[in-house]
């Protein structure tokens, strides 16, 4: 199995099935955990120097951050429902608690942060939506925590790619700091597939091909993209969801298309 692909494990005592930390994967910024919480179960956390975006991929929960409470966050039954997820921003240095009202699929997205920001519920109206591409390159994007919303490092977005379509395409990368041409951002992809027996493909490769992997993606997988181009293709008949978490030295998403395939940008 690819070293970039992480399969979910059986739920631990706190419901955790996936975890990536900067230390575990040898990078500096992005952290990601996925927890499945049964109704009534709670999850607590605290990061002294990392900000967190709690994303309810599905389900409903009450969330407390410090002394601030947010009731009934979320509510969608599935990430494939045409509805915004619940999301709460947790500043560095503030404790949080999530209490599940029903079955909850909770993503804990983190990156370096500074003290002094305020916690907030990220409202559906603040999550801009867009459809990118055309034909079999069409995909649907929801910007949960984009660069024009307050945060220190984190960028969080979710994407629905219809079956038989391509996404993160033309192949692009963001692994170098190059002024206005490219920013260096680590990235994780958390995948769901509908129906769940389906699959997708992701290729991760660099210009010199020192890294060049074609990865079979199944429901619940996580793929790490520390560098290189990283296009995704959804198999015919199987819709694909992914949640992206990005962070780096600069909180801007500026990417560069693979020059061999850049001409495709003109066909979108």
* Res 24 pLDDT > 70: yes
Average pLDDT over residues 209-218: 97
Give percent of the chain above pLDDT 70.
99
Give tens-digit pLDDT for 59-106.
999 999 999 999 999 999 999 999 999 999 999 999 999 999 999 999
**Looking at the DSSP assignment, which residues form a beta bridge with residue 245?**
156, 188
* Res 14 pLDDT > 60: yes
* Res 2 pLDDT > 90: no
What pLDDT, on a 0 to 100 scale, did the predictor assign at position 268? 52
CA dihedral 237, 16, 129, 112 (to 10 degrees): -140
Average pLDDT over residues 92-121: 97
What pLDDT, on a 0 to 100 scale, did the predictor assign at position 68? 97
What pLDDT, on a 0 to 100 scale, did the predictor assign at position 267? 58
Tokens of 16: 């955790």
User: What DSSP state is assigned to residue 266?
Assistant: G
Average pLDDT over residues 179-194: 97
Assign 3-class secondary structure to 184-250.
Answer: ECEEEEEEEEECCCCEEEEEEECCCCCCEEEEEEECCCEEEECCCECCEEECCCCEEEEEEEEECCC
Give tens-digit pLDDT for 240-258.
999 999 999 999 999 999 9
Give tens-digit pLDDT for 218-230.
999 999 999 999 9
Asked if residue 160 lies in contact with residue 192, where contact means CB atoms within 8 angstroms, the answer is: no
* Res 13 pLDDT > 60: yes
Average pLDDT over residues 142-164: 98
What pLDDT, on a 0 to 100 scale, did the predictor assign at position 266? 76
Rounded to whole angstroms, how far apart are CA atoms 243 and 156? 7
Average pLDDT over residues 124-128: 96
Average pLDDT over residues 121-140: 95
* Res 53 pLDDT > 70: yes
Helix (H) or strand (E) holding 25: helix 22-25
The CATH number that domain 5-267 falls under is: 2.60.120.10
- Give the pairing type, strands 186-194 and 239-247: antiparallel
Give the Å distances, CA to CA, from 225 to 90, 155, 184, 190.
24, 15, 11, 11
Over the chain, what is the mean pLDDT?
A: 96
Rounded to whole angstroms, how far apart are CA atoms 82 and 184? 31
């Amino acid at each position: 199995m690819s070293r970039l692909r992480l399969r979910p494990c059986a739920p631990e005592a706190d419901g955790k099935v996936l975890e990536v930390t900067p230390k575990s994967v040898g990078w500096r910024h992005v952290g990601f955990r996925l927890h499945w919480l049964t109704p009534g179960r709670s999850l607590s956390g605290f990061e002294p120097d990392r900000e967190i975006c709690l994303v309810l991929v599905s389900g409903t929960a009450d969330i407390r951050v410090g002394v601030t409470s947010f009731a009934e966050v979320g509510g969608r039954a599935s990430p494939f429902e045409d509805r915004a997820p619940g999301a709460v921003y947790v500043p560095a240095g503030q404790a949080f608690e999530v209490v599940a009202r029903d079955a909850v699929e909770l993503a804990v997205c983190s990156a370096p942060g500074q003290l002094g920001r305020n916690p907030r519920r990220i409202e559906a109206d603040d999550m801009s939506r867009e459809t990118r591409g055309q034909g079999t390159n069409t995909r649907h994007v929801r910007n949960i925590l984009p660069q024009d919303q307050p945060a220190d490092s984190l960028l969080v977005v979710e994407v629905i790619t219809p079956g038989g379509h391509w996404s993160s395409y033309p192949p692009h990368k963001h692994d170098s700091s190059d002024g206005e041409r490219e920013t260096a951002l680590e990235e994780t992809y958390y995948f769901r597939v509908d129906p769940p027996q389906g699959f997708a493909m992701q290729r991760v490769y660099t210009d010199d091909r020192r890294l060049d992997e074609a990865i079979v993606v199944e429901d619940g997988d996580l793929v790490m993209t520390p560098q290189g181009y990283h296009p995704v293709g959804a198999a015919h008949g199987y819709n694909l969801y992914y949640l992206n978490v990005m962070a780096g030295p600069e909180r801007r998403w500026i990417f560069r298309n693979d020059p061999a395939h850049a001409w495709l940008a003109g066909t979108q």
